[in-house]
Chain A
């Protein structure tokens, strides 16, 4: 069985950044396992621009952003295997993987970085009633067909869900000659970025119907039409608000789900809110030496933050390996409580003596908040109180905790992050 210091599961933006940073920390024995035919992950099909403003201070397209990191991995001579599926990882960090050339093989890792990304919520998971004809695609599947393979999934399109991929696909389908009739969004706000609403819908006069959902799907062979209806505060359709649309295509952009089947096989503890692993300040899961980053940990809004988080995970994995399989002495872990509008935090707990001088805590809010404050408390003492003009569930928020402040706080029992009105 071959062995590596660090094995990175996934060669998308998270895996690439983790690998590069681990290598720069002096770890030579690194292997990236990627299931697709190329490195770069989903960025390869995200051909629109808007990536990298934070990281590179310029606007790149997805493939360009990916290439910057692929170039780093190549320059750093980091080993990778493409077309390789990880079948299983056990709690002793033994990986079973498979590809056409090596067959079924095993790798022993000292440390593992989980960077598998996420998948889209399917029609089935949404449990939309009606027929099951051709023409219903997740937005990402349509994106692949259009951008990489050059096929039109259809000509008359309705989009359910105003997540970023859905918005981007509204524009892509329009530019390629399709008629996008409407974007329906279950929630009273869009889950997508503002710029995408402006540039992908408003620019082309595509209506966005908030608090609406699809309640019927017609067409036995190919999709023929759908019905949307307004929903009440509980998301239930309101009788009398039904509107029929003729269309041959329904694209679904209704949320992303971290792909943690492998994480479960390792046995890491999961956070139900994010559907990702629970991690500590080092982005380490409940299984020592197994780290997680990117969309497998929690769904991000911007790839820049994925890269940043993954670099930290790679650094920590390197530190773990260099110290002979430990992150150093663990002080008592302080839990971070997410409450009052804060849905979760990553990390979920902090061991103060292991934390960086400045610890980024990322989270999302559960509703739209205008003119409110992000607050953080050490026990009962408020240490952060920052006004935000607007916060929305579609965008990630963050606070920075200072080690100095935490270690100087006597009797620290818990940290609380919440939204406050004043």
Chain B
């Protein structure tokens, strides 16, 4: 019997787990995928929003601004990549100026510091590649960019080292009330717990509705993106938004913390929560809308495209509370953008609610600091040389595009809550995330995973389940051996 079971190992679940690990509680995070950060948390804009967009007075607005404030400290404590690069919201016509001003008024209401409206000349000084048609913009200096994988994995690893258990490949089929708490029927056996935290992202309504008469509805809202080569980096330094429309914040053009350019997302409501496919129309829209903001965005340098489903709740508001008709069942539902930004604040809020229910002791061994995978490129030449002398694997480049060494991949695979798949390695190290998209490095990464985890290459998957990379041997002689 656990004290707390958290459904979902995305940013929301992982942030909650990390904050709950401050207490002496028996906690388990379960996820239907094979790794943390395998759903919406891995496929989004990677933006730390300033908080100007959210409707004043909403929980979304409150947690966005709080999360933004917390991000710097969390990125240092947990060692993930974050940069406050600033954001610009473009206005393309005088007709839209009233909308720009209306949005600007949110800044004060939401408590977003430092925002101001800038006119064309200043805009183009700041961002020479932005469209000439942009006549003004809101500048939000607190806007930022983050590595969503790095952040999610860091929070989960920190929770894990502070005693939180993680169970993967565990899909919840049913939740029922028991005398002492909750029973979760899963694909991986029954799990009993006092408290459930529902951080199931796009599936959160399913679990909510299993236990509550007060139904909620979440619609998967597809967002498609294109990622551009690092050679396109530098075309903008701020995150470039357009004035928001009905379906959210529109298509953005942003640098990533790793120096690529990301464009997207589309916003397309559909009915398949698992559908993470891109579409011809979607990708075409991304490219045309991004070109409106930054006309010379080099779309020929696309290195990959992807799509994620935002968990759009009908009222477009975060639902973070214990359910009235289901005591000890805590929702962290409807977490769509700015969910990534808000994650630290959501984690604190969820932990507060759960602590209020269970009145736990503090965890005396809690250590809130986590060290990420060492990036040897960050070292001085002298220290790098020393490192290779000690651990020669750091002198062996596996991913040529991102210059990722064998040492980093070994670290990713062998560290707490380590990677078990190619995508797991990719999200932890960036091996395979470059311009050749794992063409060269995947066979070599498979060798390393196979060796370090003592598993046959036939068992190695791209991302768990049946996503095996190879299906057999070419010759019977290899099978016989």
> A-side interface residues toward B, CB under 8 Å?
35, 83, 85, 87, 98-104, 119-120, 122-125, 127, 129-134, 137-138, 140-141, 144-146, 149-155, 176-177, 215-218, 220-222, 237, 248, 264
B437 interface neighbour in A98, A123, A134, A216, Cβ under 8 Å: A123
Chain A neighbourhood of B443, CB < 8 A: 141, 144-145, 149
**Whole-angstrom distance from the CB of A174 to the nearest CB of chain B?**
12
**Whole-angstrom distance from the CB of A376 to the nearest CB of chain B?**
31
Which residue from chain B places its CB closest to the CB of A252 in the assembled complex? B439
Residue contact B440 to A119, C-beta cutoff 8 Å: yes
Residue contact A146 to B474, C-beta cutoff 8 Å: yes
Residue contact B473 to A150, C-beta cutoff 8 Å: yes
Interface centre among B282, B400, B439 (most CB of A within 10 A): B439
Which residue from chain A places its CB closest to the CB of B477 in the assembled complex? A150
Chain A neighbourhood of B466, CB < 8 A: 221-222
**Whole-angstrom distance from the CB of B258 to the nearest CB of chain A?**
15
Residue contact B468 to A134, C-beta cutoff 8 Å: yes
Which residue from chain A places its CB closest to the CB of B226 in the assembled complex? A127
Residue contact B470 to A131, C-beta cutoff 8 Å: no
Chain B neighbourhood of A131, CB < 8 A: 276-277
Q: Could you name 5 residue pairs across A and B whose Cβ atoms are closer than 8 Å?
A: A85-B397, A87-B403, A137-B439, A146-B474, A153-B469
Indicate the size class of the contact surface on chain B.
35 or more
Sort A-B residue pairs by CB-CB distance and give the 10 closest, nearest first: A124-B304, A134-B462, A100-B392, A122-B437, A134-B467, A103-B388, A151-B470, A221-B467, A85-B397, A100-B395
B154 at the interface (CB under 8 A from A): no
Interface centre among B279, B442, B471 (most CB of A within 10 A): B471
Measured CA separation A248–B468 after assembly (Å)? 10
B464 at the interface (CB under 8 A from A): yes
Chain B neighbourhood of A123, CB < 8 A: 304, 437
A interface footprint on B376-406 (CB within 8 Å = 1, 0 otherwise):
0000010011001100110111001001000
**Whole-angstrom distance from the CB of B293 to the nearest CB of chain A?**
19
Residue contact B436 to A119, C-beta cutoff 8 Å: yes
**Whole-angstrom distance from the CB of B168 to the nearest CB of chain A?**
14
Chain A neighbourhood of B392, CB < 8 A: 100-101
B305 at the interface (CB under 8 A from A): yes
Residue contact A215 to B280, C-beta cutoff 8 Å: yes
Residue contact B388 to A220, C-beta cutoff 8 Å: no
A interface footprint on B422-454 (CB within 8 Å = 1, 0 otherwise):
000000000000011111101100000000000
Measured CA separation A35–B398 after assembly (Å)? 10
B274 at the interface (CB under 8 A from A): yes
Residue contact A99 to B395, C-beta cutoff 8 Å: yes
B468 interface neighbour in A216, A222, A264, Cβ under 8 Å: A222
Decide yes or no: A130 and B277 within 8 Å by CB, A103-B385, A119-B436 being known contacts: yes
Decide yes or no: A151 and B473 within 8 Å by CB, A103-B385, A220-B274 being known contacts: yes
Residue contact B462 to A133, C-beta cutoff 8 Å: yes
Residue contact B385 to A217, C-beta cutoff 8 Å: no
**Whole-angstrom distance from the CB of A57 to the nearest CB of chain B?**
32
B470 interface neighbour in A99, A100, A145, Cβ under 8 Å: A145
Measured CA separation A193–B282 after assembly (Å)? 36
B366 at the interface (CB under 8 A from A): no
